[in-house]
Amino acid sequence: MKGAFLAMFVVAALGSLARGQTNIAVLVSSTAGTSAPSVGPGYAVVTTAHVDINVSYNPTNRTFSLGFRNDDNGSQFAGTNAVAYAVTNQRTTVPAGSQWAFLGPEGGTFWSFPASLSSATNKKSLYLGFSGYGVAAGTFTGTGGGRFNLRVDSIENLTTPGGGQFYGYETSGGNPVFRLSSTNAYTNDFSLPAGGHSHINLAFTAPGMFRVWLVASGTLLATGETVESEPLPLYFGIEQWEIPSGPATYIAWRDTEFTAGQIADPLVSGPAADPDADGFSNLEEYAFGGEPLVPDARVLQPDLQRGSGWPVLTTRTRTSAADLTWSIQAATNLTPGTGSWSTNGITQVGSPRPIPGLPGMVEVDYELGSLTGGTGFGRVKVSSP
C-alpha cells in the first residue's frame, strides 16, 4: 500500500515559531497516605484533593473542549495531557442485589470514584466531579443559566483490549440512577448546568488504562440549533499510570480503530479510504495520529512557521510505525517543467516532542534551508510498501 500527504504553504505568510514540551500529568489524591505511582519519563505526578472533568464552549467557532481541572489551584489539563489515577484502595466489592449486576457478580471487584467527599477521602481516591466552568450562562437553553449534556461515545481499555465497562450513576432508595454508561443497556445522558458543578459515582469494572470518549451537546438559546462536539478523549488509569505505546503497523492500527464489519470492507478500512471525509486517507490518519471516523484534519495538518533563520515545517510522526517511510521536501516553485521537489537543505532541528495522549506519536521540526526567496512550498510525503 502506498500513500502520500502533501502540505504546501506560502513562505511569505509565515508567523513566528514557538514550541514546548509538556509532561502528561498523573492526577493523584493528596489525601494523607495515598500511594503515588513512580512514573517514568514524559509523566509527572500532580497531587490534588479535588478534580473536575471540566467542559468549555467557544461560541466563536461553536466547539466544545474537555479536560481535567485541578480545583486546588484552578489549573486546567487538556484531555490528552492528563490521567485520572485510581489507587488500589479504590477496589470496591460488588454489593448484593440484581440492581448492581452491571458492576459484575456479587462479591466481585470494581473500581470507584465516589460521589461523596468523605467516601473519596476514605478510599484515598481523587474527589472527581464534573463542571461547566467554561460554558457561559445564557448560551444554551435550560433552567437557570442553561444546561448542556454529556454522553459516552465509546471506551477503550488500552492495556487489556475489550476489558471492562464505565458507568456514572447516582443512588436513590438503594438503586442506581444512571447518568453515563458505556453500554446500551442503561441511560447515557448527563445534564449539567452552565458554570455549575456536580458529582456522581464513577465506576470501572476492570483495571487498565482507559480512554473514555465523551460527546458534549447543547441547544443554543439564540437560535434553537443543537450543537454537538466530536468525541473528546479522557484518560483514566485504573491502577495504571502509563498510556501504552501505539500500534507498530497499519494492520494493528486498523484492527483497533474499526469494527469487524468495517475491517471486512476495504472501502471503509482500506489504506486509501477516507470514511470521515476529512481529506485524509486511512493511511495518513495512521501516520499522523488521527481518528479515521472523526473529521480531524485541522489537528493533522503540518504547520509552517518562520523560525530564527529558515522557514520551519512542523509535522506529526508515528515513531512506533515499522511500515512507513517519511520524506520532507521543499520547492521554490511548482511550475510544470521548472519546479521540482527536493530534500536538499532540509535539516531536523531540536528533539522530537511527545504528543500528550498519543503514545508513539511525536512532533518534529524541520528547517527548509533551500527556501531562500520570498515564497516557496513544503510537503510531507509518507508511504508504505
Domain ranges of the chain: 1-22+246-385, 40-238
Burial environment of residue 47 by CB neighbours within 10 A (0 to 12, 13 to 18, 19 or more): middle
Confidence band, pLDDT 50/70/90 cuts, at residue 375 = low
Confidence band, pLDDT 50/70/90 cuts, at residue 7 = very low
Confidence band, pLDDT 50/70/90 cuts, at residue 307 = low
Confidence band, pLDDT 50/70/90 cuts, at residue 8 = very low
Confidence band, pLDDT 50/70/90 cuts, at residue 218 = very high
For the segment 231-248, the average pLDDT, to the nearest whole number, is: 89
Residue-level pLDDT at 75: 95
Whether the predicted pLDDT of 149 surpasses 60: yes
Answer whether 209's CB lies under 8 Å from 158's CB: yes
- Please state the separation of Cα 36 from the chain's center in Å: 23
How crowded is residue 322: how many other Cβ atoms within 10 Å of its Cβ? Answer: 11
Answer whether 337's CB lies under 8 Å from 372's CB: no
Residue-level pLDDT at 18: 46
Cα gap 216→226, rounded to integer Å = 11
For the chain, percent of residues with pLDDT exceeding 70: 92
Cα gap 129→60, rounded to integer Å = 27
Mean pLDDT is lowest, of 278-287, 332-341, 345-354, for 332-341
Residue-level pLDDT at 145: 95
Mean of the per-residue pLDDT values for the chain?
A: 89
Whether the predicted pLDDT of 3 surpasses 60: no
Q: DSSP string covering 55-104, please?
A: EEEETTTTEEEEEEEETTTTEEEETTSEEEEE-GGGEEEPPSSGGGGGG-
Task: Choose between 189 and 341: higher pLDDT.
Answer: 189
From 316, 314, 266, select the one nearest 291 (Cα to Cα).
Answer: 316
Cα gap 24→358, rounded to integer Å = 10
Whether the predicted pLDDT of 16 surpasses 50: no
